[in-house]
C-alpha cells in the first residue's frame, strides 16, 4: 500500500503532462501515480503509457471522455494509497516541498484531511501563494473549532488531500461532463472529516492564465449553467449535511456555499443583462426557500451583502471590487 495516490486527470494534455508527472515522480515509490487519459485525441495516452512502462508506480487508465469528475472517480476506484490527491495535468507540485511533505506525512498519525498551500502561477515572476498560517494551527492535529478562515479564504482542491478510505466511506461520486465539480470534491467529504493537519508548504503550483482554461472569466460565463448547477448541488448538500455535523463545521460549510454563491453572483452581475440579473435573483430566492437558515447566514455575511447591493450603482460597485480582487490575487 502506497502512502499517497495522486490522480492526474488528463485530456489533450500532451504539452503539459511531462512537467506534471515528472514533478510527482520526485516522490519515489511511496507515491502511486494514476494518469487518467480521459478520451484524449492527441498524444496524451501515448505519453502516459511511456511513463507506466518505465515506472512501476505509474498506472494509466484509458477511458471514453467523461470529464474531470469522471476521471477522478476512475482514479479513486483504483487508488491503493493511504491518502488521495488530485493534480491536474497542467499543474505540478514543487519538488522540495513535495519531498518534505511526504516525509512528514509518513511520520504523522493518520488524519482525515491534510492541508497545504497552493500558488497561483500565472507567469514567471507573477505568482501569488495562498497560505493558511493565520487561519489554522501548525504542527498539530486539530478539529473544526480551530479553523478561523477570513472572508474570501477557503480550501480549494489544490490545498486538500483526503484519507482515501474516507472518500469511499462517503461514497464520493462526482458528476460526468460537468465543469467546476472540484467544489464538490472538496465539499462533500467534509461531513466525515474530524482530524486535520496543516503543513505550511507551497506545494501545489496552480497554473492559470491560459485562454481556454475553465477558470478564465469568459469561459466561466460561457459555462454559467454548469457553475449554477454546482452551486445548487452545494446548497442541497448543505441541507443534507448540516444536521449531522458539529457547529464549527456547519459554519465552514455555510462559508463555502457563500463564496461559491458569491462567485456565481458576480459572474451574472458582470454580464449585466436582464436575463443574468434575473438568474442571480432566482439563485438567492432558491436558497431562501430551500434552506432558510443557510440563506439568513449567507445573505447577511459580508459576501452576501456585497453581491446584493441595490441598483445599478450597487452592481457596478460589486463588479469593480471583483476586478480589484482579481488583480490582487491573480485568480483568473
- 44-89 residue pLDDT tens: 999 999 999 999 999 999 999 999 999 999 999 999 999 999 999 9
Is residue 227 domain-shared with residue 187, that is, in the same domain?
no
Residue ending a domain, among 207, 228, 253, is 207
- Does residue 228 lie within any of the structural domains? yes
Residue ending a domain, among 207, 230, 245, is 207
Query: What pLDDT does residue 166 have?
Result: 98
Q: How many domains are contained in the chain?
A: 2
Choose the weakest-confidence range: 126-130, 152-156, 175-179, 188-192. Answer: 126-130
Residues 6+ apart with CB under 8 A from 234: 183, 184, 187, 256, 257, 260
Is residue 57 domain-shared with residue 183, that is, in the same domain?
yes
> Looking at residues 256-272, what average pLDDT do you find?
93
Question: By 3-state DSSP, what share of the chain in percent is helix, strand and coil, each rounded to 5?
Answer: 50, 20, 30
Query: What's the domain range around 12?
Result: 4-207
Is residue 75 domain-shared with residue 162, that is, in the same domain?
yes
Mean pLDDT over the full length of the chain: 92
Main-chain phi, psi angles of 156, to 5 degrees: -90, 170
- Does residue 247 lie within any of the structural domains? yes
> Looking at residues 299-309, what average pLDDT do you find?
92
- Does residue 212 lie within any of the structural domains? no
Is residue 10 domain-shared with residue 102, that is, in the same domain?
yes
CA 238 to chain CA mean position, Å: 17
Is residue 200 domain-shared with residue 222, that is, in the same domain?
no
> Looking at residues 141-157, what average pLDDT do you find?
93
Pairing of strands 113-123, 141-142: unpaired
Is residue 196 domain-shared with residue 227, that is, in the same domain?
no
SS3 199: strand
**Cα 15 from Cα 254, distance rounded (Å):** 39
**Cα 332 from Cα 327, distance rounded (Å):** 9
**Cα 117 from Cα 84, distance rounded (Å):** 16
- 26-47 residue pLDDT tens: 999 999 999 999 999 999 999 9
Is residue 122 domain-shared with residue 52, that is, in the same domain?
yes
Query: What pLDDT does residue 329 have?
Result: 45
- Does residue 29 lie within any of the structural domains? yes
- Does residue 79 lie within any of the structural domains? yes
Is residue 40 domain-shared with residue 178, that is, in the same domain?
yes
CATH number at residue 21: 3.90.550.10
Pairing of strands 126-130, 4-10: unpaired
Query: What pLDDT does residue 208 have?
Result: 85
Is residue 292 domain-shared with residue 191, that is, in the same domain?
no
pTM of the entire predicted model? 0.93
Main-chain phi, psi angles of 86, to 5 degrees: -110, 130
Q: HSE of 157 in the Cβ direction (CA atoms, 13 Å)?
A: 18
SS3 117: strand
- 198-252 residue pLDDT tens: 999 999 999 986 655 545 567 777 899 999 999 999 999 999 999 999 999 999 9
- 107-133 residue pLDDT tens: 999 999 999 999 998 766 578 899 999
Pairing of strands 113-123, 58-63: unpaired
Residue ending a domain, among 147, 177, 207, is 207
Bridge partner residues of 264 (DSSP): none
Who has greater pLDDT, 318 or 294? 294
Percent of the chain with pLDDT over 70: 93
Residues 6+ apart with CB under 8 A from 90: 13, 16, 20, 207, 210, 213
Q: Is the pLDDT of residue 324 over 90?
A: no
Cβ–Cβ under 8 Å, residues 261 and 298: yes
Split at pLDDT 50, 70, 90, the class of 300 is: very high
Is residue 75 domain-shared with residue 147, that is, in the same domain?
yes
Q: Is the pLDDT of residue 10 over 80?
A: yes
Is residue 229 domain-shared with residue 132, that is, in the same domain?
no
Is residue 59 domain-shared with residue 169, that is, in the same domain?
yes
Who has greater pLDDT, 302 or 104? 104
Amino acid at each position: 500500500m502506497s502512502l499517497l495516490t495522486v490522480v492526474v486527470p488528463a485530456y489533450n494534455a500532451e504539452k503539459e503532462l511531462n512537467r506534471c508527472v515528472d514533478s510527482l515522480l520526485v516522490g519515489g515509490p511511496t507515491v502511486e501515480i494514476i494518469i487518467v487519459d480521459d478520451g484524449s485525441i492527441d498524444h496524451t495516452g501515448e505519453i502516459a503509457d511511456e511513463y507506466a512502462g518505465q515506472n512501476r508506480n505509474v498506472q494509466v487508465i484509458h477511458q471514453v471522455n467523461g470529464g474531470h469528475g469522471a476521471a477522478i472517480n476512475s482514479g479513486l476506484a483504483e487508488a491503493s494509497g493511504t491518502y488521495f490527491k488530485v493534480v491536474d495535468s497542467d499543474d505540478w507540485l514543487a519538488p522540495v516541498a513535495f519531498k518534505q511533505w511526504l516525509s512528514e506525512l509518513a511520520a504523522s498519525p493518520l488524519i482525515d484531511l491534510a492541508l497545504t498551500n497552493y500558488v497561483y502561477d500565472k507567469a514567471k515572476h507573477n505568482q501569488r501563494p495562498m497560505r493558511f498560517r493565520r487561519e489554522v494551527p501548525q504542527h498539530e492535529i486539530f478539529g473544526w473549532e480551530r479553523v478561523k478562515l477570513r472572508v474570501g479564504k477557503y480550501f480549494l482542491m489544490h490545498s486538500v488531500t483526503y484519507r482515501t478510505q474516507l472518500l469511499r466511506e462517503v461514497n464520493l461520486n462526482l458528476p460526468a461532463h460537468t465543469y467546476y465539480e472540484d467544489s464538490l470534491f472538496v465539499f462533500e467529504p467534509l461531513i466525515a472529516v474530524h482530524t486535520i493537519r496543516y503543513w505550511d508548504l507551497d506545494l501545489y503550483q496552480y497554473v492559470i492564465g491560459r485562454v481556454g482554461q475553465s477558470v478564465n472569466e469568459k469561459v466561466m460565463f460561457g459555462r454559467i449553467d454548469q457553475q449554477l448547477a454546482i452551486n445548487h448541488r452545494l446548497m442541497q448538500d448543505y441541507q443534507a449535511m448540516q444536521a449531522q455535523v458539529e457547529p464549527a463545521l456547519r459554519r465552514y460549510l455555510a462559508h463555502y456555499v457563500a463564496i461559491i454563491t458569491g462567485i456565481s453572483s458576480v459572474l451574472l452581475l458582470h454580464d449585466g443583462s436582464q436575463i443574468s440579473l434575473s438568474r442571480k435573483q432566482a439563485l438567492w430566492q432558491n436558497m431562501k426557500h430551500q434552506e432558510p437558515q443557510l440563506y439568513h447566514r449567507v445573505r447577511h455575511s459580508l459576501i452576501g451583502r456585497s453581491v446584493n447591493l441595490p441598483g445599478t450603482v450597487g452592481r457596478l460597485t460589486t463588479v469593480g471590487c471583483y476586478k480589484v480582487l482579481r488583480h490582487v490575487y491573480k485568480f483568473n
